[in-house]
Structure 1
Amino acid sequence: MQISTLSQSLAMRQSINDMRAQFDNLQRQLSTGLKTDSYAKLGTDRNTVLSLAHQLSQLTTYTNTITKTGMRIEIMADALTRMNSIASETKTSLASSGFELVNGKQTSAQIQAAMQFDEIVNLLNLNVEDRYLFGGRDTQTRPVALPSAILNGADGKAGLKQFIAERALADLGANGLGRLTLGTAGSTVTLGEDAAPSVFGFKLANVNSTLSNATVTGPTGAPPALDMEFTGLPEAGEKIEIELAMPDGTTTLVTLKASAANPAGKGEFTIGVDAAQTAANFQTALNEAIGLEARTTLKAASAVAASNNFFDYAAGGAPQRVDGPPFESATGLRDATDADTVFWYRGDLSGTPGNNFVAQIDQGRQLAYGARADQDAIRDMLKMSALLSAVEYSDAQDKEELASYKALSGRVTKTLNFKGVQSLESIVTGLGLAASTLKQTQDRHDLVMASANELLGDIQNADPYEVGVKLTTLQTQLQASYQVTAMLSKLSLVNFI
């Protein structure tokens, strides 16, 4: 029998050590699920694994951005959808309610508008994850002032109500004729604007006359004036129409008909015994008609213009205040300042409102999204709610106040119809398209990440079944080796002598 040499014994021990190392490695694979504990041991697959891991890290970053962006878009869309519902509710309320002054100053529609105004401001001041959503890129500043400050002012600064009051004085003028002057010389009646240039009151836009024995000239001159010279007596039923432009961009028509009745009815003037008497009667009727328009439609138009002055300013601009006192004779507007006026919007003013946020959602691909409180449709919704909340009345039985309320309601309703301009629905649609883009991009990322993870798994992950079989086989081999080694360690020449 051959007796083992020292070299054979050492070889046996080295073989056992190698099997132990393999056994330990297989146990590690079984417990961790990974083939190796370092990239270096992957061999030629190392670069592939590193590249895939980098790609997955980038995709995870994009996915996190998409998740947060999607949440913000959803919240903004929900807020604007609610605002659109408020617009519909306001129009319905104005159409269905009457002119009963619930609290002695405002109708039920106005009181509802005041509550909704508070809600709109709260929606525009939404803060999610310490970010204001409707302030553009300035996410740390509350974009919209508090409702009370907007309406009533604060800390000695003027609010919307003061703007409306000052503008009303400037638009109606001291004589209550909407900054028009009216006079008669002989048989000629002259109607003119009181100053030029001036942004306040009525402006003479056009005139159309069917009056016989009357010559109408103008409006011409600076300030513009209109002359109506009676050269004889007009016929009953003949009329003159004077179109007056108002501060909010609308117009109204003052119509007077010649009448043989004395006294004449509303909207008529009495044909006198001669041209001079007819001119005097015409002036009296015209004075009454223009005064009525000033106290009704012009009052409403003035309130709308004041709200435009308060709310409509862009980057580098400011609300526009009547350059007074005195307000009744003012001719222009001036920039408001932080010291004397509440600035309703304090968010970002750079660039065009809307889509001011930018999210990196893929390699070389960014998504612009968002909505800003000073965006046209959003600002108009806020403005109309504030306007209804600010205007007050005193007598539900006063026909002139009723006419003024109807004129104001009509203007609010027209604005909230968003005809031919950006609407709240269009902004929500834009946010919906952005959300759809996010979903499509996320779906694509999910597919790529699934493929990358599968490939990484094939390279890095150990097959537990294969590892189990190898462990069993190696365990058997180790046991046999240990037994042989133990038997050899007991052999001696003494046993064979």
Structure 2
Amino acid sequence: MIVNKSMFPLQTGFSVISKMQDKFALLQTQLGTGVKAQTLADMGRDLPVSLSVRSRLTAIEGYGANIDQVDLRLSFYDNALTRLDQIEGQARNSAVQGQYGSNNINMATISSLSKARLDEMVTLLNSDIGGRYLFGGNKTDKAPLPTTTELLDGAGGRAGYRTVVTERQAADLGEFGQGRLTTSIAPAVPALPTDPVTVTLAEDGNHPFGLKLSTVSAIGANIGIVSDFAASPADIEFTFPGDPGTVAEGDSVTMGFTLPDGTETQITLKAVSAANATGATNEFVIGDTITTAENFDAALKATLQKTGESELKAASTFAAAQNFFNAAGEPVLRIDPGSPADPFNATSLRVAQKTDTVMWYSGETAAVSAIGMGRLTAASNAGTVTLTENQPASAAHGFQIAGPVASSNTTGITAVRNAGPPVDMTISVVDNAEIDANDTVTFTLKEPGGKTREVTLTAVAGKAGPGQFKIGADAAETAANIQQAMTRSVTEAASAAEGNPRQSVTASVEDSGRVAYGMQANESGYLRMVRSMAAMTVETYPEITNAADPNSVNLNPAKARFDAMARRQQLELSESRNSERGSIELITMELGVARSALKSAGERHTNYKAQLDNLLSDVETVSKEDVAMELLALQTRLTASYQVTSMVSKLSLVNYL
């Protein structure tokens, strides 16, 4: 009998031992490191799962970094807005009508206090985190505002706010300080004592400056009044009866005026006898016809001058703030003194240039504002609707009326774009009976960046919804309805063009979610504060009397001007504005929503990461207890294999026998 090693597969045995040794080494490594494999190649079927989980963890880590960064910025915003709200409250309470303080201390200190608040606000709006400026929208590489000194006093030959105020006040007060109003008496010398005499009060031209006549009324029927407020310029005629007619003591005339900032004021002139005259500016002493007229004219001029130094100057200062501290979609404006330069007789505003005027805000801004219909105005009159581009305008601001302009029913409605200037669009209701439901009028608005927005107005027989106008009983009613629909639709288009400042900066915090937290320093809440505090900074309240007559009425009524300024600041910073878009309160609420979304995303990531970590642990790590047991079992098998293989390798016939 032949016995040899060919009966035993030694080569196979050695291969099995080698594999067991490799497995033993792997188990030893796993026992030492706690992970299944040292390389991706060793992951085997677990590799796709491992790569997928690690990819998700990396994404979550990136989102977490974004969340931490945005949370830091939101914390800064929260602190800044809290302080700005405090500054707003302090400014609102610092100047109150009638509260002048001991020895007029409030009037003396309000300018410096306002400048300190303005300076702190400018510092806050120019704050940065790690070199990233936070109040300029997506323009984060430079401060959005110049320094307070540059804003107020200018720099490098460019005018600041003080210069703009000085120019505007000159244009509003006029050469004689009467608010650009003139008076005249006719006839200067009556031919007969029985002839009436007329005093005419008139605006000195068609321009945006000074006092604009708006209302007139009288107590007593002895003064004839004829007004024409629709004329341009408007005027009022006051006719005093000739002898034996007289103006009775106690008769009065009250005139209302629209001020440059859009507010209203009024003056009242009272008829008094010589015996009862007190010397008040608004009194006119009655006598014969020409004397009464002359005294009325003198009192009117003096009262206009007093109003000019109080209400008008305050309104002019705030109007200059509106011109200089421009809102989104608005240009910076200055008076155009004409040639030769004469600010007292200026008749228009011009768009300021960066070369001659400090631009108060240089961050990201919208070129179209929803307020004011994107610098368009709509009006209807006797069956005609007109949409007009406001002047002065700039290609960099507001909507332009572009073509085509069309009506689907030219028999009932015609629509025409007129080249101007100013450019406008006229919609005429030609035949109201021919207008049918679903007839349309379409026009195109062009943004400064070139983007166009088409607006379509559709006729309906019943109640009109968005983009619709109701067919009226006649052409005038239909035109009025078209105007209402146009105003609503153009305002909506302007709002869409303006966008939301919060969207100017966003951060990705999860796969399908971004947090918007952009901030622009020219939003309405900040803008009102800057305008108000700058206005209060540049205005002063010195008491100036007539040196020739120390007992005369003040020619510069400081307290009246202080009251006028305080009233306007109260209005600008009123709590009633908290619900306006862009107010500090609404911005705070919007950022609170952003922070809530940020927190929710962070919590979701934390929970998801825990799940992924567990899954990754199941895929990539091992239980050391299980590995140790498997290692012991393998060691036993390996030892036995060594012994069997050793015995087989020595097998021969002699050993076998």
Instruction: Tell me: CA distance 1:76–1:241, structure 2 relative to 1, closer, same or farther (3 Å).
Output: same
Comparing 456-465 with 10-19, greater Cα deviation is found at 10-19
Give the conservation status (yes or no) of the 8 Å contact 1:353–1:372: no
Deviation at 1:233, TM superposition (A): 2.2
Secondary structure of the corresponding residue to residue 312 of structure 1: coil
CA–CA separation in structure 2 for the residues paired with 1:396 and 1:229:
34
Q: Does 1:369 align with 2:517?
A: yes
Deviation at 1:52, TM superposition (A): 2.8
CA–CA separation in structure 2 for the residues paired with 1:153 and 1:99:
34
Comparing 167-176 with 218-227, greater Cα deviation is found at 218-227
Q: Does 1:454 align with 2:454?
A: no
Deviation at 1:465, TM superposition (A): 1.7
CA–CA separation in structure 2 for the residues paired with 1:136 and 1:52:
36
Comparing 160-169 with 272-281, greater Cα deviation is found at 272-281
Q: 1:252 maps to which residue?
A: 265
CA–CA separation in structure 2 for the residues paired with 1:205 and 1:34:
88
Q: 1:389 maps to which residue?
A: 537
Instruction: Tell me: CA distance 1:349–1:4, structure 2 relative to 1, closer, same or farther (3 Å).
Output: farther
CA–CA separation in structure 1 for the residues paired with 2:603 and 2:354:
49
Report the AA paired with residue 116 of structure 2. Answer: M
Matches for 1:332-411 after TM superposition, within 5 Å = 332-350=348-366, 351-352=498-499, 354-355=501-502, 356-395=504-543, 400-411=557-568
Give the conservation status (yes or no) of the 8 Å contact 1:206–1:219: no
Deviation at 1:42, TM superposition (A): 4.5
Comparing 9-18 with 377-386, greater Cα deviation is found at 9-18
Please, which of 207, 211, 215 is the counterpart of residue 202 of structure 1? 211
Matches for 1:172-251 after TM superposition, within 5 Å = 172-186=173-187, 187-195=197-205, 197-220=206-229, 221-231=231-241, 232-251=245-264
Give the conservation status (yes or no) of the 8 Å contact 1:262–1:270: no
Q: 1:28 maps to which residue?
A: 29
CA–CA separation in structure 2 for the residues paired with 1:63 and 1:359:
11
Output the TM-score relative to the length of structure 1: 0.90
Deviation at 1:98, TM superposition (A): 3.0
Q: 2:572 maps to which residue?
A: 415
CA–CA separation in structure 2 for the residues paired with 1:403 and 1:135:
38
Instruction: Tell me: CA distance 1:391–1:352, structure 2 relative to 1, closer, same or farther (3 Å).
Output: farther
CA–CA separation in structure 2 for the residues paired with 1:116 and 1:133:
20
Deviation at 1:162, TM superposition (A): 0.6
> Which consecutive unaligned segments of at least 5 residues does structure 1 have?
none
Output the TM-score relative to the length of structure 2: 0.69
Comparing 129-138 with 150-159, greater Cα deviation is found at 129-138
Q: 1:60 maps to which residue?
A: 61
Comparing 83-92 with 226-235, greater Cα deviation is found at 226-235
Report the AA paired with residue 75 of structure 1. Answer: F
Give the conservation status (yes or no) of the 8 Å contact 1:145–1:345: yes
Comparing 54-63 with 263-272, greater Cα deviation is found at 263-272
Which protein has greater RCO, CA pairs closer than 8 Å, 6+ apart?
Answer: 1
Q: 1:281 maps to which residue?
A: 295
- Superposition RMSD in Å: 2.9
User: 1:441-468 CA deviation, whole Å, 9 max, x = no partner?
Assistant: 2222222222222222222221122112
Deviation at 1:339, TM superposition (A): 1.3
Deviation at 1:178, TM superposition (A): 0.8
Deviation at 1:181, TM superposition (A): 0.4
User: 1:183-230 CA deviation, whole Å, 9 max, x = no partner?
Assistant: 2224211111111x2111100011111222111111343311100112
Deviation at 1:27, TM superposition (A): 2.3
Instruction: Tell me: CA distance 1:320–1:368, structure 2 relative to 1, closer, same or farther (3 Å).
Output: same
Comparing 340-349 with 379-388, greater Cα deviation is found at 379-388
Deviation at 1:257, TM superposition (A): 2.0
Deviation at 1:368, TM superposition (A): 2.6
Deviation at 1:267, TM superposition (A): 5.6
Instruction: Tell me: CA distance 1:496–1:427, structure 2 relative to 1, closer, same or farther (3 Å).
Output: closer
Q: 2:477 maps to which residue?
A: none
Comparing 92-101 with 454-463, greater Cα deviation is found at 92-101
User: 1:457-492 CA deviation, whole Å, 9 max, x = no partner?
Assistant: 222221122112222333344455556667777899
Deviation at 1:33, TM superposition (A): 2.6
Q: Does 1:327 align with 2:337?
A: no
Report the AA paired with residue 232 of structure 2. Answer: A
Q: 1:439 maps to which residue?
A: 599
Instruction: Tell me: CA distance 1:152–1:3, structure 2 relative to 1, closer, same or farther (3 Å).
Output: farther
Secondary structure of the corresponding residue to residue 442 of structure 1: helix
User: 1:314-350 CA deviation, whole Å, 9 max, x = no partner?
Assistant: 35x5311111121000011111111111111111124
CA–CA separation in structure 1 for the residues paired with 2:636 and 2:542:
104
CA–CA separation in structure 1 for the residues paired with 2:298 and 2:656:
153
Secondary structure of the corresponding residue to residue 107 of structure 1: helix
Of all paired residues, the percent bearing the same amino acid is 33
Instruction: Tell me: CA distance 1:4–1:200, structure 2 relative to 1, closer, same or farther (3 Å).
Output: farther
Q: Does 1:312 align with 2:310?
A: no
Q: Does 1:98 align with 2:114?
A: no
Give the conservation status (yes or no) of the 8 Å contact 2:541–2:559: no
CA–CA separation in structure 1 for the residues paired with 2:615 and 2:74:
34
Comparing 24-33 with 44-53, greater Cα deviation is found at 44-53
Secondary structure of the corresponding residue to residue 222 of structure 1: coil
Comparing 259-268 with 53-62, greater Cα deviation is found at 259-268
CA–CA separation in structure 1 for the residues paired with 2:102 and 2:216:
33
Q: Of Structure 1 and Structure 2, which has the larger fraction of its residues in strand?
A: 2
Q: Of Structure 1 and Structure 2, which has the larger fraction of its residues in helix?
A: 1
Give the conservation status (yes or no) of the 8 Å contact 2:4–2:653: no
Deviation at 1:148, TM superposition (A): 0.7
Q: 1:130 maps to which residue?
A: 131
Comparing 147-156 with 258-267, greater Cα deviation is found at 258-267
Instruction: Tell me: CA distance 1:64–1:233, structure 2 relative to 1, closer, same or farther (3 Å).
Output: same
Secondary structure of the corresponding residue to residue 89 of structure 2: helix
Report the AA paired with residue 411 of structure 1. Answer: R
Instruction: Tell me: CA distance 1:109–1:213, structure 2 relative to 1, closer, same or farther (3 Å).
Output: closer
Give the conservation status (yes or no) of the 8 Å contact 1:192–1:226: yes
Instruction: Tell me: CA distance 1:374–1:260, structure 2 relative to 1, closer, same or farther (3 Å).
Output: same
Give the conservation status (yes or no) of the 8 Å contact 1:307–1:383: yes
Instruction: Tell me: CA distance 1:9–1:217, structure 2 relative to 1, closer, same or farther (3 Å).
Output: same
Give the conservation status (yes or no) of the 8 Å contact 1:370–1:431: no
User: 1:272-319 CA deviation, whole Å, 9 max, x = no partner?
Assistant: 23333222222122122111110111111111111111001435x531
Secondary structure of the corresponding residue to residue 249 of structure 2: coil
Instruction: Tell me: CA distance 1:211–1:60, structure 2 relative to 1, closer, same or farther (3 Å).
Output: same
